[in-house]
Structure 1
Amino acid sequence: MAEASLPEAGRLSFASLGSGSKGNATLVSDGETRLLIDCGFTMREAERRLAVLGLHPGQLDAILVTHEHGDHIGGVGPLARRHDIPVYLTPGTWRAGRLGRVPRHHWITPQARFVIKGLEIEPVTVPHDAREPVQFCLSGAGRRLGVLTDLGHPSAHVVEAFRGCDALILECNHDRRLLAEGPYPPRLKRRVGGDWGHLANVQAARLLQGLGLDRLQRIICSHLSEHNNRPELALEALVPLLDGDDSRLMVAAQDEGLGWQTIA
């Protein structure tokens, strides 16, 4: 991923620092507001990846946290402490005790919208094996982005909350056959494939069908398992919903992330 300049003002844009079991972080900006959702990378690695996307951590207005698992929260505390960045998270995530000291933290309530500068954020409760996990819908510049990873199944509540998005970052964690035949021990296979684990490719496709596809300009396959999925399998599961047109589909990779995408 080549170094990039920041998005222009008045357009809702997003990028991925990387997505997968080794670390997750997503940037969202309207050109003036800059939010980081999760940070599962070390502070030094997060700083490096932010620089590739044209951003210094001191330019972040806030870090939003989805839940307390290490691949999402590992770098949040160090980054917030070093650069004095406010952190927004649920009380349950805070009580998990994995964040450490942060200079400023703000409670968020699932389903209760709040505003940071030019962006409106709606935290949405999701089925996942964490203390009080949420995912986010973000609105700004007349557009709406859904960030929807780390959920065990496409519940009716989630489908309803994420309707009407112009772009969607969607978990495609595993292929069910690869998970069943792969190296994970049985207990971990049951956790990943269970109702409180992670979305399989076929579940991601089912969720998309429930949301409707007419308005979606970009669909980003994310949180792909290193052992239990491959990009071509995730895309193969979703392309039939688009009548074979894969121009709206992209993959957020673990190592290279995804460069800035602007919602038209």
Structure 2
Amino acid sequence: MLGAANGANVNEGTFMRVASLGSGSRGNATLVEWSDGALLIDCGFSVKETSARLQRLGKSGSDLTAILVTHEHADHIKGVAALARRFDLPVYMTPGTFHSRDLGKLPALHLIEAYQSFTLGGLTVEPVAVPHDAREPAQFIFSCAGLRLGVLTDLGTVSPHVEDRYQNCDALVLEANHDPMMLAGGPYPPSLKSRVGGPWGHLSNQQAAGFLARIDRSRLQYLVIAHISQKNNSLERARETLLPVTADIPEVIYACQDEGFGWLSLAPESNPAELSA
């Protein structure tokens, strides 16, 4: 199930909305828009492919305020530098992520020091440290007009810090990367299986379900299950594992590699079904 129709207009009274250009091992990018700007979290696609996927959502690179980078793996950072140069965009990332790759000259680089929160045009961005096999990875929580949007992928363990920070979100994009049995019997070499399923790799369906069971979901309008492996997971297994902890969530969306998910609009005291129409 995809979200709102691609390119849909922002509903009157909407303060924040989120969409995805694609989610998976072949490329990731998440788009967050609010009343005063729009930012792209990661860019794992070429500039040409990114532009085409933005157009599908009714946007272009010239509409962006900034690019945020979670970490240096190619499926997240491949197109960041080229897109930033093409559209003269500032880039935000941790020092570890920046020093892990030669990105060439960037129009404007803002280093996220010690995971300190910052603001962009009325949007508060909270970086969160996560256990992942990268130099200094970060995931993000966005706050605007009393709303909280959490983006949480690419981590092998839900640490107490992560669990504490991601309480009380109005929308959550959460990784459910693999099914352990499919990973064990899948085509990956043993070293890669160990990495993906290890404490610095990616969350399994069961880990995602456990996390959801432990957090306060009472405000959750939308849950997006993301970064689903095409080789080590299936929608059927993910849904079956997550169903006991998602039945009370108004709308659950499963992101895909080719289409990501369409616009999901957040607003206080709103009916999510109306907002995504």
1:68 pairs with one of 60, 69, 72: 72
- Of residues 224, 241, 244, the one that matches 1:240 is 244
Match of residue 37, structure 2, among 33, 40, 43: 33
SS of the aligned residue for 2:128 comes to strand
1:84-128 CA distances to partner (integer Å, 9 max, x unpaired)?
Answer: 010000000000014332111101124311000021000000000
Structure 1 partner of 2:128:
124
Give, in whole Å, the separation in 2 of the partners of 1:58 and 1:165: 29
- Aligned ranges 1:74-223 → 2 under 5 Å: 74-223=78-227
State the distance in 1 between where 2:82 and 2:16 align: 27
Q: How far 1:257 sits from its partner (Å)?
A: 1.1
**Tell me, which stretches of 5 or more residues in structure 2 are unaligned?**
268-277
Could you tell me which residue of structure 2 aligns to residue 255 of structure 1? 258
Instruction: Report which structure shows greater RCO (CA 8 Å, sep ≥6).
Output: 2
- Is 1:46 aligned to 2:82, yes or no? no
Answer yes or no: is the 8 Å Cα contact 1:6–1:55 preserved in 2.
no
- The letter of the residue matching 2:25 is S
Letter in 2 for 1:209: A
Bigger shift: 188-197 or 159-168? 159-168
Is 1:229 aligned with 2:233? yes
> 1:4 maps to what in 2?
7
Aligned-residue offset at 1:248:
2.1
Shift of the 145–107 alpha-carbon distance from structure 1 to 2, 3 Å rule, reads same
Shift of 1:59: 1.0
In the TM superposition, what is the alpha-carbon distance from 1:10 to its structure 2 partner? Answer: 4.3
Write out per-residue CA displacement over residues 147-189 of structure 1, whole angstroms, 9 at most, x where no aligned residue: 0000001111100011121110000100001000000000000
- What is the SS of the residue equivalent to 1:15? strand
Moved more, 70-79 or 224-233: 224-233
Stretch moving more, 210-219 or 244-253: 244-253
* Structure 1: segments with no counterpart, 5+ residues: none
Q: Deviation per CA, 1:162-218, whole angstroms, max 9, x where unpaired? A: 112111000010000100000000000000000000000000011111212211111
What's the TM-score, normalizing by structure 1? 0.95
Distance apart, 1:247 and its partner CA: 4.5
Retained in 1: the 8 A contact 2:175–2:226?
Answer: yes
- Compute the displacement of 1:7 (Å): 2.4
Two-structure CA RMSD over aligned residues (Å) = 1.5
Output the CA distance in 1 between the equivalents of 2:218 and 2:166: 14
- Structure 1 runs of 4+ aligned residues shifted over 3 Å read 244-247
Secondary structure of the residue aligned to 1:4 is: coil
Q: Partners in 2 of 1:251 and 1:238 — Cα distance?
A: 11
Partners of 1:6 and 1:66 in 2: how far apart? 28
- SS of the residue corresponding to residue 44 of structure 2 reads coil
Q: CA deviation at 1:78?
A: 0.6
Q: Is the 8 A contact 1:36 1:62 kept in 2?
A: yes
TM-score by length of 2: 0.91
SS class of match (1:80): helix
The percent identity for this pair of structures is 53
What SS does the aligned partner of 2:173 have?
A: strand
| Count of residues paired in the alignment | 263
